[in-house]
Amino acid sequence: MRRPVALRLQAALGTLALAAATGVVLSMPEAAAAAGGATGYATQNGGTTGGEGGQTVRATTGTAIHQALCGRASSSTPITIEVEGTINHGNTSKVSGDSCNTAADKIELKQISNVTLVGVGNGAVFDQLGIHIREASNIVIQNVTVRNVKKSGSPTSNGGDAIGMESDVRNVWVDHTTLEASGGESEGYDGLFDMKANTQYVTLSYSTLRNSGRGGLIGSSESDVSNGYVTFHHNLYENIDSRAPLLRGGTAHMYNNHYKGLSKSGINSRAGAKAKVDSNYFEDSKDVLGTFYTDAAGSWQVSGNIYDNVTWSQPGEDNNPAGPDPQSNTSVSIPYSYPLDDASCVPDVVSATAGANKGLKVSDGSCTPQNPDPTDPTDPTDPTDPDPTDPPTGTNLSIGAGSDGSSKASGTSYGDVRDGDLGTYWSPAGTTGSVSVKWSSATTVSKINIREAAGSAGTIGSYRVLNHDSGAVLASGSGAGVIGFQAVSLKKITFEITGASGTPRIAEFETYAP
């Protein structure tokens, strides 16, 4: 059975009003892009921060994106470009300037650095228009959809790549994007996420890649082996023929991805490449790992993966599948830390987090909800929320309700937190754990009161209050007592202790209506 999904709303997207003029670029007081930083190999080589610290502008056309780049003081002046609406050939023109090098048939991030491109508001869709990164560094692309980019037919863009990187590219973080096509090469499409000609220190995270013949490549030929140090995590590859990815030379780290419906091959490590493949879920696919279509072998280190209805071809001169019982044939050292979900949890986690317009939700590697970011709109310190220091009044809704939790110490009961008796209590089987109050029908709650048993006051450290129905974090903080939050209708509310100075004892978990 899959464990509950781990989610966090990292930050609220911008809600500033859009000017009526089509394609206008507006100066914003602060970035509406998500808080939080890059992950994986994008954290190396000095890190990837994009336009952090620079001006923030809003753009609703491709021309406006290019104007924002060209309007900077220099090609390295930091800038965050918030994008809303559909960007296509009809509203994308070449713009000239000393700080840019743009083109009319793609979004061109060429010979520049320190740029963030983030979808906001109702979303950003790049329709039949690819994003090209060339001779560039420190680029962040987040919360956008790029679809149906063609290399043949009409209109064409970016060599058929949704996002393509080439020629001395360094430090790119692509996060919470949806990259999709409507077929393979015969229909005019190429790769969804390509890197070549000395591209290094790249992370693709929480993204969906689907309905394409080619997921992506690292290295354009067996001689193009100067690319690498690429991380792929918490991505969905769905209905892809091959190249998930194709890796020629270099090192790549794939963890917690969900691969579903790979019809020909998946991770294709060749030409001396090394792939570290951690806790991924492969489903309804063929030849998900190995060296394929060449005798130039690559290698892999595997651990914790699940192979669900995966078929394997027979080895041959140009075919070396890792299965049916994949074993490591190399060792790969990873220079960064990373939280790792169990592979059995990956389909649920990825389904809830990967892709554009998913609220920038992420997993913390433990399949339990994370703390909200301070800018989360459900932050309990919002001045419109009830004062958490007010003593609770009214009826304690927990009396007569149900209860359960994640663990309990011997001799304790979940029911002791809703019996109105301060002399009984529940304790977790350790210093952390969760206890819930639940009702048979939806109940509106806006405040809880956690009462510790005699002799244990001050034991509870950090906590989360969770809407168990949705996984949303209602409040977080430290210590017991009264906790207020925005009123919410739910059937089950959970108090999770994430840190304590000893064994907590909760005598009562009281709940109150607004």
Q: Which residues are catalytic?
A: 243
Cα angle, residue 335 at apex, residues 332 and 339 outer, rounded to 5°: 95
Cα 410 → chain centroid: 38
Helix boundaries (H) for 318-460: 346-353
Q: Using CA atoms, how far apart are residues 457 and 425, in angstroms rounded to an integer?
A: 13
Residue 344, Ramachandran bin (φ over 0: left; ψ between -120 and 50: alpha; else beta): alpha
The answer to whether residues 370 and 6 touch, using CB atoms and an 8 Å cutoff, is: yes
| CA torsion, ordered 132, 138, 144, 148, to nearest 10 deg | 20
Distance CA 359, CA 351 (A): 13
The 10 Å Cβ neighbour count of residue 471 is 18
Amino acid at 75: S
Element (H, E) at 231: strand 228-233
DSSP-derived 3-state class of residue 41: helix
Q: Are 472 and 437 in contact (CB under 8 A)?
A: no
Contacts of 142 (CB under 8 A, 6+ apart): 33, 34, 116, 117, 118, 119, 173, 174, 175, 176, 177, 360
Cross-strand bridge partners of residue 195: 165, 218
Which one-letter amino acid corresponds to residue 279? S
> How far out from the chain centre does Cα 35 lie?
12
Place of tokens 């220190």: 201
Decide: 276 and 299 in contact? Cβ < 8 Å. no
343 within 8 A of 326, measured Cβ to Cβ: no
Helix (H, G, I), strand (E, B) or coil at 415: helix
φ, ψ (nearest 5 deg) of residue 485: -160, 170
DSSP letters of 322-353?
Answer: --SS----S-----S------GGGHHHHHHHH
Residues with Cβ within 8 Å of residue 92, at least 6 apart in sequence:
61, 62, 63, 65, 66, 104, 105, 106, 107, 129
Strands (DSSP E) found in 31-130: 55-59, 79-87, 107-110, 113-127
